[in-house]
Amino acid sequence: MTTGSETMVDIYQDPPLKTRVRKTFATSWKTLKSNPNLMIGSIILTVMVGIAILTLLPTASTVARYDPTELAVRERINGPSADHWFGTDKLGRDVYSRTLHGAKTSLYVGIGVAIIVTIVGTSLGVIVGYNRVADNIVMRVMDGMMSFPTLILALALVAALGSSLTNVIIIIAIVDTPSMTRVVRAVVLSLRERTYVDAARASGASTKRILFLHIAPNTLAPVIIQASIFFGGAILTEAALGFLGVGTPEFIPSWGNIISSGREFIRVGFWIAFFPGVFLALTVFAANIVGDGLRDVLDPRLRGEK
Amino acid sequence: MTAYIFKRVLAVIPILIFVGIATFSLVHIAPGDAANIMAGDYAGPDDVKLIRAELGLDKPVTTQFVEWASRTLRGDFGKSIYSGRTVAELVSQRLEPTISLTIVGGTLAVLLGIPLGVFAAWRAGSRWDRGIQIFAALGISVPGFWLGFIFILAFAVYLRWFPVIGYVSVTEDFTGWIRSITLPVSLLAISGSSVIIRMTRGSILEVLREDFIRTARAKGLANRPVLFRHALRAGAIPIITVIGTLAGALITGVVVTETVFTIPGLGRLIAETVQNRDFPVVQSMLMLLASFYVFINLMVDLAYVFFDPRVRL
């Protein structure tokens, strides 16, 4: 920051960064308080992230109590007890610790997919929204990809690429990218007709400058909303692939493959599938209501209406 | 109008070509050699060679594509590497359960979803609205396979109202059929109607905000005619889109549902063949389901013509 207070007041200049950050924090707290969806959703997600971080650190054994891969053949399929809060599975592994460690896998997938889709989808969307030629090529491919039902495309890609954790993330990201691109493209198409873009162009701004300084930041709201939806969707898809027996490999505990392993023991050990399912449902629910909350807050068309 | 229909139908061709190329490429994007993957870990070099010849992988890619495309266009989808049966045979055997589930489930989803969505929008902000919205949010968040598990646990294992697994053909035993599809269909109806509720509520809310609704109110029209004569008619257009989305949700739902309830349908078939990496069947299923999905969305777009006079111009 070189401009001091003694320079001419430029009404078009943004307030200093410090003020902006403080303002943002103040408003986000106010927004959180006024929007129960956002509040409840963020609390649940924070707890899940907390669990995931604790199981990553050396604190894992104190939080999760057992090694999620430790076998105890004598304690196979024991119901919930003081020793094993969520019971044990067919190999005597502690379901509680497997569920907590599963949080890590799910969040890893959710965050990974959200980040990849946001970066790729936004870049593609901004480019095709501004360039006719690119638009024709890229959007035809995206239309083609969207003509596959999502889970079916994911399944087919799993068949081709195999199902490591990284592959699962990449596959779900590939499946989700077209809709993100579409959303960003639509926003860019409407933004480029705005007067402020004309004004920028008239004052001599280059296309690159207009794209990255004037248009890209304004796609932020819809991108954030979409990203939160894809975050939850990715967790759900990973779990569905795991449940179908083609997701994250068995040695990495994930909510999907724990539920899948509990399916055959429904009569004698419902707890194996029940508890991880509660965590999964809660997390996806939280992601969805955060998405809804963000839409209420960020979408200016709905602002101020109840 | 004819021009619009013509244009829309023609637009399907490049999409189907893309679907074909993508499906064909599936075998080729597999790292290593698809034949090796399919043969498994215990196969000798002869087995791999056999599978390679079976898949035609020993020929140049272009020849392979032309052969594959011409076979597919003639309706010959090849045969399963595992069971040796033709894809046509496998699909026709498994068609009935899937059709039963999707038709009954989809119909229930529409019958449940649209009225609830309209009602929620009409009473926006009320306790009813909040309740319906929570139902819809849970319906899209709670994983179908887990909810199905709970259903089996509660209604089949403990209450013994329904069979735990399996499917009874409608031609064999009608009450048995109803009993065998009740739980799976409820699962599909819950997730499907949740998607519909959210979209319907959104589009009706948007319509209710329009000027012509205010005009209708201003001229003293009662609530009921405003909703039924003005809002619903205008809101119907975006609601039709729901059918396309529903088709996608049902295809996904049926894969999961058939696995939960061990129903031998197309969804189970695709999950099994992906597990076995039975490429010819996976490819055919991908092709079939994508074409079906494209066809449904085409129908939805064409339905616009009849509902929205603006498109006709």
d(CA B109, nearest CA chain A) in Å: 18
Written as six digits, the tokens of A262 are: 């509990």
User: Phi first, then psi: what are they for A206, rounded to 5°?
Assistant: -75, 160
Question: Are the Cβ atoms of B19 and A144 closer than 8 angstroms?
Answer: yes
Question: pTM of the entire structure?
Answer: 0.85
Nearest neighbour of A156 by CB, restricted to B125, B149, B286: B286
Measured from the Cβ of residue A301, the count of other Cβ atoms closer than 10 Å reads 9
**Minimal-distance CA residue of chain B relative to A143:** B15
CA distances for B207 relative to B121, B140, B230, angstroms: 10, 24, 9
pLDDT tens for each residue of B130-183 = 899 989 989 988 998 899 989 988 888 888 888 877 788 888 888 888 888 899
Residue to substitute from A38, A138, A151, A263, interface B, most B β-carbons within 10 A:
A151
Q: Which residues pair with B86 in a beta bridge?
A: B79
Geometric angle at alpha carbon B212, from B209 and B217, rounded to 5°: 85
What number of residues does chain B have?
313
Across the A/B interface, how many CB contacts are shorter than 8 Å?
146
Question: Are the Cβ atoms of A156 and B282 closer than 8 angstroms?
Answer: yes
Q: Which residues pair with B79 in a beta bridge?
A: B86
Question: Are the Cβ atoms of A159 and B282 closer than 8 angstroms?
Answer: yes
Geometric angle at alpha carbon A280, from A275 and A286, rounded to 5°: 130
Residue A61 contacts by C-beta under 8 Å, 6 or more apart in sequence? A67
Geometric angle at alpha carbon A56, from A55 and A61, rounded to 5°: 45
pLDDT tens-place values along chain B, 313 residues long: 778 788 888 888 888 888 888 888 888 887 766 677 667 667 777 777 777 777 777 777 788 888 888 888 887 888 887 788 888 888 888 889 999 999 999 999 999 999 999 999 888 888 999 899 989 989 988 998 899 989 988 888 888 888 877 788 888 888 888 888 899 999 999 999 998 998 888 888 888 888 888 888 888 888 887 887 788 777 777 777 788 888 888 888 999 999 988 899 999 999 888 888 888 888 888 988 898 889 988 888 888 777 766 665 5
CATH class of the domain whose range is A37-303: mainly alpha
Its ipTM equals 0.86
CA distances for B87 relative to A66, B53, B249, B272, angstroms: 47, 18, 24, 14
Which conformational region is residue B222 in: left (phi greater than 0), alpha (psi within -120 to 50 degrees), or beta? beta
User: Phi first, then psi: what are they for B221, rounded to 5°?
Assistant: -70, 140
pLDDT tens for each residue of A47-71 = 998 888 888 877 767 666 677 777 7
